[in-house]
Amino acid sequence: MLARLVDSTSVLGILLATLVLYLGYLTLRPVPIPGIPYNEDAVVRAFGDLKAMKAAKYRRRWIWSQPREHDTVIYQLFLFPFRRPTVIVSDYRETMDICSRRVKEFDRGNRNRECVGITAPNFHFTMESRDPRFKHHKELLRDLMTPWFLETVATPRVYENAAALVGLWGVKELKALGRPFSANHDLYLSTLDTICAVAFGVDLEMSAVGHQTRHIEAFKPVHHWGLGVVARFPTAPTDAYLESILDIPEMVAIAQKSFFPTLSQRLALLSPKHARAQWYRRRLIRKQTEQALRRISSLGDQYAPKSALDHLLHREMVASSRAGRAPDFFSPVIRDEVLGYLLGGHDSIATVLSWWTKHMQCFQDVQSRLRQALRQAYHRAAEEGRWPTAEELSSTSVPYFDAVVEESLRVASVATLISRTATCDTHILGHNIPKGTDILLSLTGPSLTEPAVPVSEPSRTAACRQAKDRIPAWGDDIEEYKPERWLKVEKRDGREGVEVFNPYAGPNLAFSTGPRQCFGKKLALVQLKTTMALLLWNFELQEVEASLSGWDITERLFNLPTNCYVKLERIGHDKLAALP
């Protein structure tokens, strides 16, 4: 009797445990949004699509390519355990519609806050547009992309640091003895110097590139590098403050790669490297703020802002005076907006420049035509045997130069996905999208850098259909690198056949789109064009051997080239003058 009772109790316990496990499985099992295609294998696994994504060579490319793999532009993936599915949209017109015309239905979601929130929790990039703080932050930052700021503060600093990069590469070209050398680190140091100079007004003598140049000048090269051998230069030690800024994209990348981004960053801060960088970042902002305040106090009425931080402090003075309160110059708001400014103006620009150097090496005809266009546009500088000045670069339009920049941004695809969240029950291409659903919009791939996937026109919104012809679709050459696609010929000033730049020639989302597009777009273009112009004015970027080239990518915060080597030949004034 007792034995039967024990057996019955055991069986009941097993059944109860089985029921609990089954209910747990049902709770964890991914539940798809009805009507949107998905991987059927993923819905029977608690971790959804994670295994397939982790097995892919490039995770971001795997994500944005899934719609095409299933012959659709909308798809759902189960990317995070214990969460609802993420909807992927790979279509230029839908991305434009969602980001530009449906901003009340879709807003910045949690993903941006999860990835950047530990490093700069008060950075406006992490905020939804409806966040009451967002308007205040926009007011605080509004001076930083004005024509006056760009021309008076930013452009001179950009030019100085681009010239310093030319100086560094001039030393390396001389000592490399015709061998290629790695360019990635130099480009990152240069853009870091530039954004620090614009943000803080840091003097050129303090620059990382200047320190690196002096280090290389003292370096005695190996005179017999050997055939096909890369010239490997030593790297100068980097200042702890600059290292702390280089750590920002690394921290964000840790979050991007993790299924638990906030936790991963907090764990990373337990390591001495990241903890030290966090301390130095905050110390840097405080130190620079103290210096700026001393400068303001000493100059009095003669004070004029010389950096982005100066403008933020001035804005805080005005705002506090209007509100009848004491100014808070060391607030987390100012600190995090400066950190965000450093992040946005450094890593992305360096990555674009890295890809651009590869395109110039691969497409020698484009490089030659661009150099000729620059010489013709700045003919006075060429005739006088000097570089074009910062003022000349910023005031003279060079259509083919604009085309090369735009095409380089299009094909580089350094940022491939942006995140939005549905703020209400809505729809995309006729599919119901529940409130709170995360949406990943592709900034590359179908319709942007490869042929589009067909979409039923009636499934689009009325506003999207009305805007169909504003930006024409690319043709069959969409996958090619062709700067001339951005040019058109028209009549100008009574002259026929004038070549002009057409920014609306076709789809490009390098800076995203809509009211939440890249805040620093104008500064980014100044940085890119100044650096490109001075490099091509002074050097020929020659082709490197296949083992040092290729188009493999390394996924960090942005998609940077795995290999980025340059083989330079200095262009003398006599050679420049001889160009046709």
**pLDDT tens for residues 157-187?**
999 999 999 999 999 999 998 899 999 999 9
131: left (phi over 0), alpha (psi -120 to 50) or beta: beta
Class of the domain covering 143-413+510-577 = mainly alpha
Beta pairing partners, 106:
422
Q: How far apart are CA 341 and CA 518, in angstroms?
A: 11
Phi, psi of 210 (to 5 degrees): -60, -45
Sequence-ordered list of residues with C-beta below 8 angstroms from that of 119, at least 6 positions apart, any chain:
248, 251, 252, 265, 278, 281, 339, 343
Structure confidence by residue, pLDDT tens digits, 132-155: 999 889 888 888 999 999 999 999
Phi, psi of 179 (to 5 degrees): -95, 150
Q: Is 232 helix (H, G, I), strand (E, B) or coil?
A: coil
Among candidates 447, 474, 517, 524, which has minimal Cα distance to 65? 447
Q: Which helix (H) or strand (E) holds 333?
A: helix 332-344
222 in Cβ contact with 229 (< 8 Å):
no
Q: Strand 438-442 to strand 86-89: parallel, antiparallel, or no bridges (unpaired)?
A: parallel
Structure confidence by residue, pLDDT tens digits, 242-263: 899 889 988 988 888 887 888 8
Spell out the domain ranges in the chain: 143-413+510-577
Q: 578 pLDDT band (50/70/90 cuts)?
A: very low
In this prediction, residue 579 carries a pLDDT of: 46
Beta pairing partners, 74:
89
Structure confidence by residue, pLDDT tens digits, 502-549: 999 999 999 999 999 998 999 999 999 999 999 999 999 999 998 898
What is the radius of gyration, based on Cα positions, of the chain? 27
Alpha-helical segments (H) within 177-271? 184-200, 208-217, 240-256, 261-268
Phi, psi of 71 (to 5 degrees): 55, 45
Q: Any binding-site annotation on 518?
A: yes
> Which residues of 299-447 form beta strands (DSSP E)?
417-422, 426-428, 431-433, 438-442
